[in-house]
Structure 1
Amino acid sequence: MSYQVLARKWRPKRFQEMVGQEHVLKALVNALDDDRLHHAYLFTGTRGVGKTSIARLFAKSLNCETGVSSSPCGECSACREIAEGRFVDLIEVDAASRTKVEDTRELLENVQYAPTHGRYKVYLIDEVHMLSTHSFNALLKTLEEPPPHVKFLLATTDPQKLPVTILSRCLQFNLKNMIPERIVDHLKFVLGEESVHYEEPALWLLARSADGSMRDAMSLTDQAIAFGAGEVNEADVRAMLGTIDTRLVYRMVECLVDQDAQGLLDAVNDLAQFSPDYNTVLGDLISLLHRIAVGQALPSAVDNSMGDKEQVQNLASRMRAEDLQLFYQIALMGRKDLPFVPDAREGLEMILLRMLAFRPAGTAPAGRPANAGDAAQAAPSSAPAPTQQPGPAVSAPAEPQTAPVAVPVQEAANSAPQPTPQPEPEPQAQQPAAPAPQPASEPKPMPSAAPEPAPQAMHAAPQPPAHTMDDVPPWEDADIPADDYDNGYQDLPPAQGSQPGKKPEAVPSAAPYAAADPVVAAPAPLSETPAQDGAQQLPTDAAIFEPLKHNLQLAQDGGDLPLQADGLQVDHWVRLASMIGLTGMTASLANNLSLEAVNGNSLTFHYTVEQKALLNDVQQERIVTALNNYFAASLDVEFRQDSQSRETPSLYMLRKKRERLALAVESIQSDETVKRLQEHFDAEIDLASVEPID
Structure 2
Amino acid sequence: MSYQVLARKWRPAKFQEMVGQEHVLKALVNALDDDRLHHAYLFTGTRGVGKTSIARLFAKSLNCEKGVSSTPCGVCSACTEIAEGRFVDLIEVDAASRTKVEDTRELMENVQYAPTHGRYKVYLIDEVHMLSTHSFNALLKTLEEPPPHVKFLLATTDPQKLPITILSRCLQFNLKNLIPERIVSHLTHVLGEEQIRFEEPALWLLARSADGSMRDAMSLTDQAIAFGAGEINEADVRAMLGTIDQRLVYQMLNCLAAGDARGLMAAVTDLAQFSPDYNTVLADLISVLHRIAVAQALPDAVDNSMGDQIQISELAAQLSAEDVQLYYQVALMGRKDLPFVPDPREGLEMVLLRMLAFRPAGAKPRQTSLTNPPESVSPAAHTIDAPAPAPAPAPALAGHEAAQPPTAPVEAPQIEAARVEAAPAENLSPPAAVAAAPAPEPAPALMAQPAQVMQNGYEANTPPEAGVNRAKKPEALPVQGEQDAPPWDEADIPPASDDYSGAYTDSGYPSAESHQEPPSESHQESQVVPETAPVSAPRLDRSIQVAKTEVEILPCPRNLAEVQPEHWVHISRSMGLTGMTESLATNLSLEQVSGSGIALHYTKEQHTMLNEVQRERICAALADYFGNPVQVDFIQAPQQQETPAQYMNRKREERHAEAVESIRNDATVQLLQQQFDAQIELSSVLPVD
Bigger Rg, which one: 2
Alignment gaps of 5+ in structure 1: 377-388, 395-407, 429-467, 475-480, 502-508, 522-677, 682-694
Contact 1:49 1:213 in 2 (8 A): yes
Structure 1 match to 2:122: 122
SS in 2 for 1:155: strand
Deviation at 1:294, TM superposition (A): 4.2
Change (3 A) 1:17 1:425: farther
- Residue 52 (str. 1) matches residue 52 (str. 2): yes
Equivalent residue runs for 1:70-109 within 5 Å: 70-109=70-109
Aligned to 1:139: 139
Please state if 1:390 is matched with 2:396.
yes
Aligned to 1:450: none
Q: What per-residue deviation string (whole Å, max 9, x for no partner) do you get for residues 27-55 of structure 1?
A: 10111111100001011111111001100
Q: Do structure 1's residue 518 and structure 2's residue 524 form an aligned pair?
A: no
For 2:220, what is the secondary structure of its paired residue? Answer: helix
Tell me, in whole angstroms, the C-alpha distance in 1 between the residues paired with 2:113 and 2:277: 58
CA distance in 2, matches of 1:393, 1:238: 52
How far the C-alpha of 1:331 sits from its partner, in A, is 2.4
Aligned-residue offset at 1:144:
0.9
**Matches of 2:180 and 2:329, distance apart in 1:** 27
Within-5 A mapping of 1:246-265: 246-265=246-265
How far does the alpha carbon of each residue in 1:55-76 deviate from its partner, in whole angstroms, 9 at most, with x for none? 0110111111221111111122
Shift of 1:189: 0.8
Report the alpha carbon displacement of residue 287 of structure 1 after superposing the two structures with TM.
Answer: 3.4
Q: Name the residue aligned to 1:359.
A: 359
Q: Structure 1 residue 164 and structure 2 residue 164: aligned?
A: yes
CA displacement, residues 312-353 of structure 1 (integer Å, 9 cap, x when unaligned): 444333322332333233323333332332221112112211
Q: Match for 2:194: what amino acid?
A: E
Q: Counterparts of 1:139 and 1:235 in 2: how far apart (Å)?
A: 52
Partner of 2:20: 20
The aligned counterpart of 1:184 is 184
User: Is 2:285 aligned against 1:285?
Assistant: yes
> How far apart in 2 are the matches of 1:305 and 1:359?
31
Cα distance, 1:243–1:427 mapped onto 2, change above 3 Å:
farther
Q: Secondary structure at the match of 1:58?
A: helix
Q: Distance in 1 between matches of 2:185 and 2:366?
A: 46
Change in CA separation of 1:391 and 1:237 when aligned onto 2, cut-off 3 Å: closer
Q: Cα–Cα, structure 1 residues 409 and 43, in superposed 2: closer, same or farther, change >3 Å?
A: same
Q: Alpha-carbon deviation of 1:118? A: 1.2
SS of structure 2 residue aligned to 1:198: coil
Give the TM-score normalised by the residue count of structure 1: 0.56
Q: Report the CA distance shift for 1:285/1:514 in structure 2 as closer, same or farther (over 3 A).
A: farther
Paired residues for 1:278-357 under 5 Å? 278-299=278-299, 306=306, 308-309=308-309, 311-357=311-357
1: distance between equivalents of 2:131 and 2:366?
Answer: 67
Residue 103 of structure 1: CA displacement?
A: 1.8
> Secondary structure, in 3 states, of the residue corresponding to 1:116?
coil
Q: In structure 2, what is the Cα distance between the partners aligned to 1:242 and 1:205?
A: 11
Superposition deviation, residue 238 in structure 1: 1.0
Contact 1:372–1:391 (CA under 8 A) maintained in structure 2: no
Write the distance in 2 (CA, Å) between the matches of 1:154 and 1:99.
14
Change (3 A) 1:410 1:18: same
When residues 309 and 409 of structure 1 are mapped into structure 2, their CA distance, relative to the original with a 3 A threshold, is: farther
Amino acid at match of 2:398: P
Per-residue CA distance 1:469-493 (angstroms, 9 max, x = gap): 865979xxxxxx9xx98xx999xxx
Q: Give the Å deviation of 1:413.
A: 9.3
Letter in 1 for 2:205: L
CA distance in structure 2 between the partners assigned to 1:124 and 1:393 by the alignment: 72
- Corresponding letter in the other structure for 2:97: S
Please give the per-residue CA displacement for 1:393-440, whole angstroms capped at 9, x wherever unaligned: 89xxxxxxxxxxxxx9989999x9x99xxx999999xxxxxxxxxxxx
- Gap change, CA 1:515 and 1:362, over 3 Å in 2: same
Larger mean Cα displacement after TM superposition, 302-311 or 329-338? 302-311
| Count of aligned residue pairs for this structure pair | 457
Partner of 1:4, secondary structure, is coil
Matches within 5 A, 1:337-486: 337-365=337-365, 374=392, 390-392=396-398
Shift of 1:292: 3.2
The alpha-carbon distance between structure 1 residues 212 and 323, as it changes in their structure 2 partners (threshold 3 A), is same
Question: Match of 1:547?
Answer: none
User: TM-score if structure 2 supplies the norm length?
Assistant: 0.57
What letter corresponds to residue 43 of structure 2 in structure 1? F
After superposition, the Cα gap between the structure-2 partners of 1:171 and 1:313, relative to the gap in structure 1 and judged at 3 Å, is farther
Structure 2 unpaired stretches of 5+: 368-386, 401-409, 431-499, 528-555, 557-569, 582-654, 659-689
Report the CA distance shift for 1:410/1:40 in structure 2 as closer, same or farther (over 3 A).
Answer: same
Relative contact order, higher structure (CA 8 A, sep 6+) = 1
**Residues 95, 131 of structure 1: 8 Å contact kept:** yes
Structure 1 CA distance for aligned equivalents of residues 230 and 388 of structure 2: 66
In structure 2, what residue type is equivalent to 1:224? A
Secondary structure, aligned partner of 2:396: coil
Cα 1:472–1:230 change in 2 (3 A) is same
| Contact kept? 2:282, 2:335, Cα under 8 Å | yes
Distance in 1 of aligned mates of 2:33 and 2:191:
33
More off after superposition, 291-300 vs 352-361:
291-300
Q: Deviations over 1:164-188 (max 9, x none)?
A: 1111111111111111111001101
Q: Do the aligned residues in 1 keep the contact of 2:143 with 2:169 (CA within 8 Å)?
A: yes
393 and 346 in structure 1: CA distance in 2 versus 1, 3 angstrom threshold: closer
Deviations 1:559-602 (A, max 9, x none): xxxxxxxxxxxxxxxxxxxxxxxxxxxxxxxxxxxxxxxxxxxx
3-state DSSP of counterpart to 2:41: strand
SS in 1 for 2:182: helix
Task: Provide the C-alpha distance between the structure 2 equivalents of 1:393 and 1:36, rounded to a whole number of angstroms.
Answer: 72
C-alpha deviation, 1:109, in angstroms: 2.2
Code of the residue aligned with 2:72 in structure 1: it is P
Paired position in structure 2 for 1:229 = 229
* Aligned residues of 1:73 and 1:79 also touching (Cα < 8 A): yes
Name the Cα RMSD after superposition.
4.8
Q: Is the 8 A contact 2:201 2:305 kept in 1?
A: no
| One-letter code aligned to 1:124 | L
Residue 190 of structure 1 deviates from its aligned partner by 0.7
Q: Please list the CA deviations of residues 540-564 of structure 1 after superposition, one character each: whole Å capped at 9, or x if unmatched.
A: xxxxxxxxxxxxxxxxxxxxxxxxx
Q: Which one-letter code corresponds to 1:177 in the other structure? A: N
Specify whether residues 373 and 286 from structure 1 end up closer, same or farther in structure 2 by C-alpha distance, changes over 3 A only.
Answer: closer
CA deviation after TM superposition for structure 1 residue 131, in Å: 1.6
What's the secondary structure of 2:172's corresponding residue?
strand
**What is the deviation of 1:303?**
6.8
Provide the secondary structure at the position in 1 that maps to 2:12: coil
Aligned counterparts of 1:71 and 1:212: Cα–Cα separation in 2: 27
Quote the sequence identity (%).
76
Aligned residues of 1:373 and 1:393 also touching (Cα < 8 A): no
SS across alignment from 2:287: helix
Residue by residue, what CA displacement relative to the aligned partner does 1:269-324 show, whole Å, maximum 9, x if unpaired?
11111111212222332333344334444555657664545544443333223323
Is 1:198 the counterpart of 2:198 in the alignment? yes
1:483-632 to 2 correspondence within 5 Å? 515=575, 518=578
Kindly provide the CA deviation profile for residues 521-555 of structure 1, in whole angstroms up to 9, marking residues without a partner as x.
9xxxxxxxxxxxxxxxxxxxxxxxxxxxxxxxxxx
Q: Supply the distance in 2 between the matched residues of 1:344 and 1:243 (Cα, whole angstroms).
A: 16
Q: Distance in 1 between matches of 2:399 and 2:108?
A: 90
Matched-pair contact (CA < 8 Å) for 1:390–1:473: no
Indicate how the Cα distance of structure 1 residues 46 and 366 shifts in structure 2: closer, same or farther if over 3 A, else same: closer
2: CA distance between counterparts of 1:512 and 1:303? 64
Give deviations 1:95-131, integer Å, cap 9, x for gaps: 1222222222222222111112211111111111122
Describe the superposition over 1:616-655 as per-residue Cα deviations: whole angstroms up to 9, x where unpaired.
xxxxxxxxxxxxxxxxxxxxxxxxxxxxxxxxxxxxxxxx
